[in-house]
Structure 1
Amino acid sequence: MMTYPEELLNKAKKIKLVITDVDGVLTDGKVHLDQKDNELKAFNIKDGLGIKWLLNAAIPVAIITGRASNVVTRRMQELGVTEVYQKQPDKRACFQMLLQKYQINCEEVAYLGDDLPDLALINQCGLGVTVADGHWSLKESSHWITPNKGGDGAFRDLAELILSAQQQLESILQGYQS
C-alpha cells in the first residue's frame, strides 16, 4: 500500500465530500467529435471504481464542470453520482451550495482539478489536489499532486488516499482477495 505524509493523512481524515472536475481529471482532457458532431470521451475504469468505493463508504462525490456533456451525464448515472453540475464557468457558487447542502465546512471537502478554473476551489478546500499533469499554478497551490495523470487513474489515487486515511481502504482491498 502507498504511504503518505502524516500532514496529508490528517487532512484526508476530515474529508466528508469529494468534488472533482471532469475534463482533464476524469478524462485526459481531449474532446473527440465525430462527423455527426457526437462527442466522445474516454473515462478510466479505475477512476470509476474509486468513485464507487467513496460512495459505498458514505462519502459523496460531486462533479462541477465548466462544460455540458451528455457523455458525462451518462457516465455519472452509471456510477451512481447524483451531484452533477455542468456548464458552471464559476464553480464557486456551486461549491458554496454544496457546503450548505451537506452542512460541512471547507476543511471537510477535497477538490481535484487540473487547470485554472479549478484554482479557487483548490485554494478553499481542506484537501486541494491536482493531477500529475495539472497546470503549474495548481501544483504550487495544491496539498497533493496525484501520481497519475488526468484520465489515467488520478481520481482513484485521491480515493485511495482518503479511504486509507479514514481506515477503510484495507478492508476494501481485502474484499477482492476472498
Structure 2
Amino acid sequence: MRERAKRVKMLILDIDGVMTDGRIIYDSKGNELKCFNVLDGMGFVLLGQAKIKVALITAKGSKAVLRRARDIGAVEIKRNAIDKLTAFRQILKKHGLSAKDICFMGDDLLDLPVMRRAGLAVAVPGACGEVKRAARYVTKKEGGKGAVREVIEVILRAQNKWRKLVGKYDR
C-alpha cells in the first residue's frame, strides 16, 4: 500500500459515510445538515500544503456539501453523481491524471466502480462488505470521525512530507 500512496496526486472522496458518519439530519425548512470532522479539516490544509489536490464525488448535492468543498479547497465537486465512474473519468481528464494517481475513499455500492480503478482504494469500517473487499486499506477510524485524516497521514508519510509539514506547527 505504501508504494501506491507514494504516487497519489489527488484524493477523491465520497461524502456521506466517509467525510460524515452517514447520518442525514433535516432542519425544519427541509435543509440537509451534515457534521464534518475538524481533524479531517486540518488534514486538508496539510494536503494543500503538499500540493495534493482534493475532489469530491457524491450522489447527493446539498448546500452543506458545497460549503464544505469550498472550505477544504476542493478543486472539483461532482454532485448528484449516481454514475460515479463517469464523474471520476471527467475529473481525471480535466486534471490530466491517470487512475493510478488517485486515492479514492468510499463506503457503498455506488463507489465500487471507482474503487476498482483507483490506484489506492480505501474503505471505512462501516462500509458494505463489497466495498471493504475492493479496498487496499480499511481505515481504523470511522467515517466522519477522522477516517479522512488517517488516510491523509498515510499518504503524506509515504511521500516523506509529513514531518516537514508538521514541523511548521511544532515549534
Calculate the TM-score normalised by the size of structure 1.
0.93
Q: Deviations over 1:32-89 (max 9, x none)?
A: 0122212211000111111221122111100000001100111221222231111100
Within-5 A mapping of 1:93-104: 93-104=86-97
- The answer to whether residue 40 in structure 2 is matched with residue 47 in structure 1 is yes
Residue identity opposite 1:94 in structure 2: A
Deviation at 1:162, TM superposition (A): 0.6
Q: Deviations over 1:93-125 (max 9, x none)?
A: 111111112222111111001111111111111
Identity %: 37
The residue aligned with 1:109 is: 102
The residue aligned with 1:13 is: 6
Q: Are the equivalent residues in 1 in contact too, given 2:124–2:141 (CA < 8 A)? A: yes
Q: Give aligned pairs, total.
A: 171
Give 3-state SS (helix, strand or coil) of 1:23's partner: coil
Q: Are the equivalent residues in 1 in contact too, given 2:54–2:73 (CA < 8 A)? A: no
* Structure 1 consecutive aligned stretches of length 4 or more whose deviation exceeds 4 Å: none
Instruction: Please list every run of 5 or more consecutive structure 1 residues that lacks an aligned counterpart in the other structure.
Output: 1-7
CA distance in structure 2 between the partners assigned to 1:79 and 1:105 by the alignment = 23
- The answer to whether residue 77 in structure 2 is matched with residue 89 in structure 1 is no
- The answer to whether residue 125 in structure 2 is matched with residue 132 in structure 1 is yes
Calculate the TM-score normalised by the size of structure 2.
0.96
Residue identity opposite 2:165 in structure 1: I
Residue identity opposite 1:141 in structure 2: A
Q: How large is the RMSD of aligned CA atoms in angstroms?
A: 1.0
Residue identity opposite 2:34 in structure 1: K
Instruction: Please list every run of 5 or more consecutive structure 2 residues that lacks an aligned counterpart in the other structure.
Output: none
Choose the corresponding residue for 2:53, options 60, 76, 82: 60
Deviation at 1:149, TM superposition (A): 0.4
Q: Are the equivalent residues in 1 in contact too, given 2:14–2:57 (CA < 8 A)? A: yes
